Structure 1
Amino acid sequence: MTASALPARYAGLELLASSVLVVDAAGSVLYANPAAENLLETSVKQLGRSTLAALFDNGGELAELCAEALAQRWSDRRQDLTLRRHGREPLHVHSIVTAAGEGQVVVELRENVQQLKLDREERMLDQSQANKELIRNLAHEIKNPLGGIRGAAQLLERELPPAHAADLSEYTQVIIKEADRLQVLVDRLLAPHRRPHIVGDVNIHEVCERVRSLIQAEFPVGLTIRRDYDASIPEFRGDREQLIQTVLNIAHNAAQALLDRIAQGDAEIILRTRVARQVTLAKVRYGLALDLHIIDNGPGIAPEIRDRMFYPLVSGRAGGSGLGLTLAQTFVQQHLGVIECESRPGLTDFRILLPLP
């Protein structure tokens, strides 16, 4: 039997969302459903020319499970595996291996979402740390010559000939003003590292209400801000001002993205709070966590910047500084939390998870 042949008993497997492979006693792949083709990024024809052990650099572990199933040591075996493929990202899967009779084994592979989430968080933490070091070093390198440029422009302005001072001072003022603008940018880059982390009791709903009032004052018409709060969420220890700035940066970005819908009068931002249970944040398990969502019905984040939107100086709109989300991520990480985002046209959902006592 070849992979291209589709016996009637496999027809139902075509509709499954989970990946299914059928292998024989020798480990050869007899059948793969479309979900398996997508997961393994390999066509059914190529899979049919391979063995289970050869599909992965460490495929022997999965092949051994199949051999044990054929030996009828158990009816099915469930195990979390990390399947490595040369030149590709490793697959974190939950495998279910079942003997199917006639010397065949059914292998079901489901992506391990929790492991993927942990890996993604670890990459974000590493990238954030690298960004902070880069920002700190770059800001200090810019700051020193910037003061010299501004000072030289001021001295030059004093030495201008009186007859031409009015005309030429326009140029020295351009230098001074641009130096001041860059100084403000550098100060914003260094702000999270300079300002002490002031810890006190924080009520997350007071934070959300402060942000709501600020956004509503700036956009009084055409924007509805809905509150969906869980009043049972306890106070926790944190830096209130940092958390206000975090939520404000995200909500303000949302409002800017909603300008067209604000003009139409149907723009909406939702502030939602919930309690999440048994959450792993930065490899630490917490019994309770704050689950805060800032949701808007805007056009969504452009695909080309979605993977790097937390990088410094990356902005999705003209005139944006590209620092709002970077600062938000830094402040959330200082509270031992994580920030995530899901976005598509019509819905963007920023999720902040912070440990609760």
Structure 2
Amino acid sequence: MNTELFAMILDYQTTSILILNANFQVEYMNPAAEELFSVSQQRAADDSISSLMGAENAQLLNRLHENFDDQGAWTEREHILKLTQDKEVTINCTVNQITLADQKKVLIEIIPLDRHLKIIKEGHVLKEHQATRTMLRGMAHEIKNPLGGLRGAAQLLEGELEDRELTEYTEIIIKEADRLHKLVDRMLGPNNVPNKAAHNIHEVLHHVYRVLSTKSNDKVNFRIDYDPSIPLLHFDRDMLVQAVLNIAGNALKAIEHQGDLIFKTRVLLRHTLNGTLYKMVACMSIIDSGPGVPDEIATKIFFPMVSGQTEGSGLGLAISQMLINQHGGLIEFDSIPGRTEFRVMLPIE
């Protein structure tokens, strides 16, 4: 194998890999490690591992120094690695002593467990959604047929009634049959193929912002935090507008028209969506300062008829997830009282 192939293999690893010299200075970081520590290899080169990890990870750093003379490998399992901006990640960290060109080196492999668990969870959620949608399609067939018969019978009865006052009741039957028919269609979600073209996701977010700003008051603090480096993406604009509008509309209701509503975009490197690893993923975040998602519905919030609002239909988020799934993307969220973030992620092809 040549050097170029080795470099390519390391670049595509989801495991963070670092190589240190005998002075514990960074000599190499693969892209996964750059993403984990939010620093490029060029900037981290010749810095000490202590500077990279910081004093917050003193326990791991002490063990690294204490075991430098040992020839064997060791592993720290389910260790809480503290990162910048008060972020933490659970990792398995394996350290090996290696020799390159007669010089002792330290090889560090870091596997973030949080992301792996999230990928497994995403897979289960997608399977559950597919099973639910299949079940709903079967139910829809059983519901729509009698509804059609009921509506047709009401129309025939209306034509036979001589007393015009009685037609009020047949009109109610027809309207309710139509309402239930539409509800079933909404539960099934969109069934049309996305009409994809090159669009700017910031134009979509700005459109949603303008729509919501007309419905809100001056007590809502709208903020934007965009990454201008995100290129044009290929998607169905109407579908994406609907997906984002459903999420942002829920956020506006959650803060009860008083609080912060933030539209944020970022590029995620080496991110997995629906079981596929992408080099880059565009992430659109809708962040609100509301009370958060209730724990009792957090695991099923993307299922039809599930809502944290008494007046909600419970269909908006389910439809949004279906729309984004049709683009190879995914919606996920994190929520605590005072800060809820929904992330709409689309692959950058």
TM-score, structure 1 normalization = 0.67
Aligned pairs for 1:61-140 within 5 A: 74-77=72-75, 94=92, 112-140=113-141
- In structure 2, the CA distance between the partners of 1:217 and 1:178, relative to structure 1 (3 Å rule), is same
Q: Matched residues in 2 for 1:231 and 1:111: separation? A: 28
Q: CA deviation at 1:350?
A: 0.2
Q: CA deviation at 1:220?
A: 4.0
- Residues 108-166 of structure 1: CA distance to partner in whole angstroms, max 9, x if unpaired? x997112101111101111111122122222222112111111111222222242xx31
**Structure 1 equivalent of residue 197 of structure 2:** 200
- Residues 148-194 of structure 1: CA distance to partner in whole angstroms, max 9, x if unpaired? 111111222222242xx31x33322221121111121122234412x
**Structure 2 equivalent of residue 269 of structure 1:** 261
- In structure 2, the CA distance between the partners of 1:95 and 1:273, relative to structure 1 (3 Å rule), is closer
Aligned pairs for 1:3-82 within 5 A: 74-77=72-75
Q: Matched residues in 1 for 2:278 and 2:140: separation? A: 36
Q: What SS does the aligned partner of 1:349 have?
A: strand
Aligned pairs for 1:158-169 within 5 A: 158-162=159-163, 165-166=164-165, 168-169=166-167
Q: CA deviation at 1:94?
A: 2.4
Return the match for 1:298 from 247, 268, 290.
Answer: 290
CA contact (8 A) 1:339 1:351 kept: yes
| Unaligned residue ranges in structure 1 (runs of 5+) | 1-68, 81-91, 99-108
Q: Matched residues in 2 for 1:76 and 1:308: separation? A: 40
Q: Matched residues in 2 for 1:131 and 1:202: separation? A: 31
Q: Matched residues in 1 for 2:196 and 2:122: separation? A: 24
- In structure 2, the CA distance between the partners of 1:117 and 1:300, relative to structure 1 (3 Å rule), is same
Asked if residue 237 in structure 1 is aligned to residue 234 in structure 2, the reply is: yes
Q: Matched residues in 1 for 2:266 and 2:338: separation? A: 22
- In structure 2, the CA distance between the partners of 1:221 and 1:160, relative to structure 1 (3 Å rule), is farther
**Structure 2 equivalent of residue 4 of structure 1:** none
Return the match for 2:316 from 311, 315, 324.
Answer: 324
Q: CA deviation at 1:73?
A: 6.7
Q: Matched residues in 1 for 2:115 and 2:293: separation? A: 24
**Structure 2 equivalent of residue 226 of structure 1:** 223
Q: What SS does the aligned partner of 1:343 have?
A: strand
Question: Which structure has the greater CA radius of gyration?
Answer: 1
Q: What SS does the aligned partner of 1:192 have?
A: coil
Identity of aligned residues (%): 43
Asked if residue 187 in structure 1 is aligned to residue 179 in structure 2, the reply is: no
CA contact (8 A) 1:207 1:240 kept: yes
Q: CA deviation at 1:211?
A: 0.6
Amino acid at match of 2:250: N
Q: Matched residues in 1 for 2:269 and 2:183: separation? A: 39
CA contact (8 A) 2:133 2:188 kept: no
- In structure 2, the CA distance between the partners of 1:332 and 1:172, relative to structure 1 (3 Å rule), is same
Q: What SS does the aligned partner of 2:194 have?
A: coil
| Unaligned residue ranges in structure 2 (runs of 5+) | 1-66, 79-89, 97-109
- Residues 257-309 of structure 1: CA distance to partner in whole angstroms, max 9, x if unpaired? 222xx2xxx42210000111111112221111101100011111111111111
**Structure 1 equivalent of residue 152 of structure 2:** 151
Q: What SS does the aligned partner of 2:311 have?
A: coil
Q: Matched residues in 2 for 1:198 and 1:292: separation? A: 20
Q: Matched residues in 2 for 1:257 and 1:329: separation? A: 19
- In structure 2, the CA distance between the partners of 1:110 and 1:278, relative to structure 1 (3 Å rule), is closer
Asked if residue 256 in structure 1 is aligned to residue 257 in structure 2, the reply is: no
Q: CA deviation at 1:78?
A: 6.2
CA contact (8 A) 2:194 2:327 kept: no
Q: CA deviation at 1:239?
A: 1.1
CA contact (8 A) 1:280 1:286 kept: yes
CA contact (8 A) 1:298 1:348 kept: yes
Q: CA deviation at 1:250?
A: 0.1
Q: What SS does the aligned partner of 2:281 have?
A: strand
- In structure 2, the CA distance between the partners of 1:75 and 1:238, relative to structure 1 (3 Å rule), is closer
**Structure 2 equivalent of residue 210 of structure 1:** 207
Q: State the superposition RMSD in angstroms.
A: 2.5
**Structure 2 equivalent of residue 22 of structure 1:** none
- In structure 2, the CA distance between the partners of 1:201 and 1:97, relative to structure 1 (3 Å rule), is closer
Amino acid at match of 1:304: E
**Structure 2 equivalent of residue 288 of structure 1:** 280
- In structure 2, the CA distance between the partners of 1:183 and 1:254, relative to structure 1 (3 Å rule), is same
CA contact (8 A) 1:136 1:189 kept: no
Shifted more, 247-256 versus 110-119: the winner is 110-119
Q: What SS does the aligned partner of 1:232 have?
A: coil
Q: Matched residues in 1 for 2:280 and 2:325: separation? A: 17
Runs of 4+ in structure 1 deviating by more than 3 angstroms, as ranges, are 77-80, 95-98
